[in-house]
């Protein structure tokens, strides 16, 4: 996969969102990031998208219930997103296809987040890659709403400075969607526990004789004695002199 500089990608994403914004008439949406001022110049909103790619500006919704906005953005993952064995790598692309809807208590966010994953098979440690898509349904409460005032901080997302931060929601959703023990294939045989070779490429019948270390000394002693006895019992090939 080829990558471009995050600033350029975020700038074009902001331009695209503004270009598709057509107000709040029926069936239309507004841009959550507002217009760009100047020619080929970053605004504070587009610069913020580079610093915090999962933070969305909701000022255009205006706290008018029923107002909607769509976000279609390709962001850059600021950190690794996933679990120990597999994740969306840091600095890789993450596609956001979201709808923001103003409701009486806050902003309801629904839609999908997707990205390419990379990791290791939990049995043979071979590379494993793929794509993960998660579905988000999150309510972000207004600062002075009843929901905000009556709900514990850890149980609700909050709107701060007319912005919503999706990062934790995305982290949680991706971690729940990805397998804790990914496999390169369902029938992966894993590694040989003795020598570590991949059993998929090992010779047929690959195995090792395993000796209990508590009996190793006795085996060495009696094995040597048995070999000496066998050598002594074998007839000599030497012939006597005339």
| 92-149 residue pLDDT tens | 999 999 999 999 888 999 999 999 999 999 999 999 999 999 999 999 988 876 666 6
Is 124 a member of any domain?
yes
Q: Which two tokens stand for residue 122?
A: 């939990």
Match 């064995």 to its residue by tokens: 85
Asked if the structure places residue 78 within a domain, the reply is yes
Residues 98 and 167 in one domain: yes
Asked if pLDDT for residue 15 goes beyond 90, the answer is: no
Q: Are residues 52 and 118 in the same domain?
A: yes
172 and 207 fall within a common domain: no
- Are 173 and 209 in a shared domain? no
Q: Report helix, strand or coil for 176.
A: helix
Domain shared by 81 and 19, yes or no: yes
For residue 135, what pLDDT is reported? Answer: 97
What's the pLDDT at 36? 37
Please give the pLDDT value at position 27.
37
Choose between 7 and 176: higher pLDDT.
176
- The structural domain count of the chain equals 2
Q: Are both 169 and 207 inside the same structural domain?
A: no
- At residue 221, the 3 state secondary structure works out as helix
pLDDT of residue 7: 44
The reply to whether 170 and 195 lie within a common domain is no
- Residue that is written with structure tokens 């085996």 in the block: 219
Do 97 and 208 lie in a common domain? Answer: no
Range of the domain at 100: 6-177
Residue 182 belongs to a domain: no
Are 111 and 220 part of one and the same domain? no
208: confidence class by pLDDT, cuts 50, 70, 90: confident
Angle ∠(17,71,107) on CA atoms, nearest 5: 125
Whole-model pTM?
A: 0.63
Band (155; pLDDT cuts 50, 70, 90): low
239 inside domain: no
In a domain, 67, yes or no: yes
Mean pLDDT over residues 219-240, rounded? 57
Per the domain annotation, does 240 fall within a domain? no
Same domain for 173 and 202, yes or no, is no
């Amino acid at each position: 996969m080829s990558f471009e500089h995050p600033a350029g990608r975020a700038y074009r994403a902001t331009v695209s969102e503004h270009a598709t914004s057509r107000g709040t008439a029926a069936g239309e949406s507004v841009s959550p990031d507002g217009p760009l001022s100047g020619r080929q110049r970053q605004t504070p909103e587009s610069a913020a998208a580079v610093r915090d790619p999962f933070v969305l500006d909701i000022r255009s919704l205006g706290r008018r219930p029923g107002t909607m906005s769509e976000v279609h953005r390709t962001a850059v993952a600021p950190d690794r997103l996933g679990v120990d064995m597999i994740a969306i790598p840091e600095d890789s692309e993450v596609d956001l296809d979201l709808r923001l809807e103003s409701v009486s208590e806050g902003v309801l966010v629904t839609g999908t987040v997707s990205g390419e994953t990379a990791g290791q098979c939990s049995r043979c440690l071979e590379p494993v890659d793929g794509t993960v898509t998660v579905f988000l349904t999150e309510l972000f409460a207004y600062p002075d709403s009843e929901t905000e005032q009556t709900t514990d901080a850890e149980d609700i997302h909050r709107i701060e400075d007319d912005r919503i931060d999706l990062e934790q929601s995305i982290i949680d959703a991706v971690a729940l969607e990805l397998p804790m023990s990914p496999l390169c294939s369902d029938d992966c045989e894993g590694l040989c526990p003795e020598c570590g070779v991949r059993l998929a490429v090992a010779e047929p019948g690959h195995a090792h004789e395993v000796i209990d270390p508590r009996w190793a000394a006795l085996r060495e002693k009696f094995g040597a004695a048995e070999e000496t006895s066998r050598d002594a019992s074998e007839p000599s090939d030497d012939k006597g002199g005339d």
